[in-house]
Amino acid sequence: MSRFTETSKQAVIDRIDAVAVVEDYLRLEKRGGRYWGLCPFHHEKTPSFTVEPDRKFYYCFGCHKGGSIVNFIMEMDKLSFPEAMENLAKRFGTELVYESGGPDKSGEEARANALRELYQRVAGTFHHFLMKKADGGDAKLYIINRGITIDTIEGFRLGYAPADRSWLYGFLSKKGAFSEAFLAGSGLFVKQHPRSAFFFNRLMFPIGDKNGRTAAFGGRILAGEGPKYINSQDSEIFKKGKTLFALDLALPSIRSARAVYLAEGYMDVLALHQGGVSNAVAPLGTAFTDDQAQLIRRWADKVYLMLDNDEAGRNAAFKAVLCCRKNGLDCAVVNSGAYFKGEAVLPKDPAEILQKFGAEALKKSVKCCINDLEYVISRSRALKEEKSQSVAFLFPYLDALESEVAKDASVGIIADAFGVERGAVWEDYRKASGEKPGGFTAVKVPAPAERVLRAGDELYLLGAVFVNPGLFKTLRAGLAPEDLEDPRARELYIVLEEWYRSSMGEGGDPGAAGLIDRVGDGALRDFLLRGEAMGIFGNPEKLLGDGVPRIKGKVLERRRKEIIRELRNPSPASPGQGDLLAEKIYIDAELTRLRETAKEVVTNER
């Protein structure tokens, strides 16, 4: 693999303005010799993230993440070291020199770059059709009649996909820049008919990544049958559940305001930007996801929900509230109806407000909002259920709150709203959570004064081993995956086992690089990264020494109870009484041994 020369690498690092780089992602204030801001790696209200401009170094005193500015770019934008260096070299006007004369790009990276080039070119072609060609006249008229100005059309690079489904293939193949096989797999054509355009006779919305590179399209139908909106399929450069429409255009305002307006669709985002609400984005025709919330959290602390004023929109808002809270974002719900309460028919969404009442009314209406707890309480009241059912409707909201102080305060507000005792709300919440493991939460819900652990013993132990993978050999000698009850702990065990087997080789040490990428569950991955950054897995050797016998003891206790049941109520499939008694004697001896070992450990520690 090609590498940078040390001289050119150092030249780039010397030119980096560390404060300017970090201020692309968060707001900084100078205090003493450092610059301070809210950490992008964990949720906080008081700045603990610092940048030292001379050393080009960042460090968070809250979560303890730190390193060079190159590492910061890699963390924030999920780039490899060469990609981060290339971005910084381009930004600060310094040339990177490779030892072998050029970058050694993998086939995947080369294909991704070719796809971005293709989509960028096609976006420009569609835009030309909309603005300059007679074919795009109806689409242009439609968008203007919706109150969208030419400036907004240009800013969002809206386009028109021709009705002739064979046109795009003919146009691109004539250019000769892309092979037939590449075009067939580009997502721009129907899989079964690789010369037939996927998008045709539609108003086109280019979907950019956070750097403004076109990665996909959304298209609105103009005539004929078919879904009203369709989006590009997921690809190497586009993941629908991890992308937000207009994020590239909204980022400067999001960074400045530390807040996001989340709308429902393309037209709503266009309307909001035109109305001066330039920190507006939208998911892509799906529910708001954890990945999208975590993306927002890099630059913002609060989300204002502007979803449609109908039943589907209200249900989506409720789910989005939970998603925001679960991912550490404050949340409010825009109630534009309060601004238009004198109207006979309330407008349904921002696009309708712009079209009927204009940009100024839209800008003012977004200031009418209520906090998320008020909103979910109003949704609960609308169900017109008994008090106990109305209160239970709010338990997922409580479970989504990260702070126990916020949870306790919310319980008080809920109790007052329904005229019940605070203790009664807590008691029902504890019962509901205990009866539904894996529902609201997989851990016991404590009274307000109790300390809360978000992870059970098994997940806590496996997390400690995961961030210290050299201990896995010891763990696997004492526990098997079927010994674990927590499915998330079992998932980590299996990931570690696969890593161990594939990486160990002939008696060598497995490398831990890339281990975190093997974890597919986004919430579980975040738990591990946050736990490692905050140092909650301290003294992992002791955790392992205490945890394995404790979990093994629970396994044996469960089997012991099963044996007793089988002895009392034998079934035709049960082993013989003698075998069961022999197994019980063995288990009793093992449990005694584990208890004595635990006592010895406690005595030695004293």
Q: What is the pLDDT of residues 206-263, one digit of tens each?
A: 999 887 889 999 999 998 788 899 999 999 999 999 999 999 999 989 988 989 999 9
What pLDDT was estimated at residue 593?
75
Helix, coil or strand: residue 420:
coil
Closest CA to 441 of 413, 411, 399: 399
- Whether the per-residue pLDDT at 445 is higher than 60: the answer is no
- Whether the per-residue pLDDT at 297 is higher than 80: the answer is yes
What is the arithmetic mean of pLDDT over 501-528?
61
Please give the sequence-ordered ranges of beta strands (E in DSSP) within 397-545, or none if there are none. none
Contact 521, 449 (CB under 8 A): no
Closest CA to 330 of 45, 22, 525: 45
What is the arithmetic mean of pLDDT over 26-52?
84
Contact 361, 347 (CB under 8 A): no
Q: What is the pLDDT of the chain when averaged over all its residues?
A: 84
**Each residue's pLDDT tens digit, 125-162:** 999 999 999 999 999 999 999 999 999 999 999 999 99
Look up tokens 């709300």; give the residue: 425
CA triple 160-161-162, angle to 5 deg? 110
What pLDDT was estimated at residue 443?
34
What is the total residue count of the chain? 606
CA–CA gap between residue 449 and residue 96 (Å, rounded): 57
Pairing type for strands 302-306 and 259-263 reads parallel
| Domains, in order of start, for the chain | 6-91 (3.90.580.10), 107-238 (3.90.980.10), 247-376 (3.40.1360.10), 457-602 (1.10.860)
What pLDDT was estimated at residue 548?
84
Q: List CB contacts of 108: < 8 A, sequence separation 6 or more.
A: 236
Please give the sequence-ordered ranges of beta strands (E in DSSP) within 478-562, or none if there are none. none
Please give the sequence-ordered ranges of beta strands (E in DSSP) within 177-291, or none if there are none. 189-190, 193-197, 202-208, 214-221, 229-231, 259-263, 280-281
What pLDDT was estimated at residue 255?
83
Residue 308 dihedral angles phi and psi, to the nearest 5°: -55, 145
- Whether the per-residue pLDDT at 538 is higher than 50: the answer is yes
Closest CA to 555 of 484, 477, 493: 484
Q: List CB contacts of 294: < 8 A, sequence separation 6 or more.
A: 327, 522, 526
H-type alpha helices, 275-349: 290-297, 311-326
The more confidently predicted of residues 549 and 570 is 549
pLDDT band with cut points at 50, 70 and 90 for residue 587 = confident
**Each residue's pLDDT tens digit, 352-388:** 999 999 999 999 999 999 999 999 999 999 887 788 9
What pLDDT was estimated at residue 454?
44
**Each residue's pLDDT tens digit, 403-435:** 788 889 999 999 999 999 999 999 999 888 764
pLDDT band with cut points at 50, 70 and 90 for residue 189 = very high
Overall pTM surpassing 0.75 (yes/no): no
What is the arithmetic mean of pLDDT over 57-61?
83
What pLDDT was estimated at residue 14?
87
What pLDDT was estimated at residue 602?
39
What is the arithmetic mean of pLDDT over 55-70?
82
CA–CA gap between residue 480 and residue 173 (Å, rounded): 56
What is the arithmetic mean of pLDDT over 18-39?
87
**CA distances (Å), origin 406, targets 369, 397, 403:** 20, 11, 5
- Whether the per-residue pLDDT at 510 is higher than 60: the answer is no
CA–CA gap between residue 277 and residue 363 (Å, rounded): 7
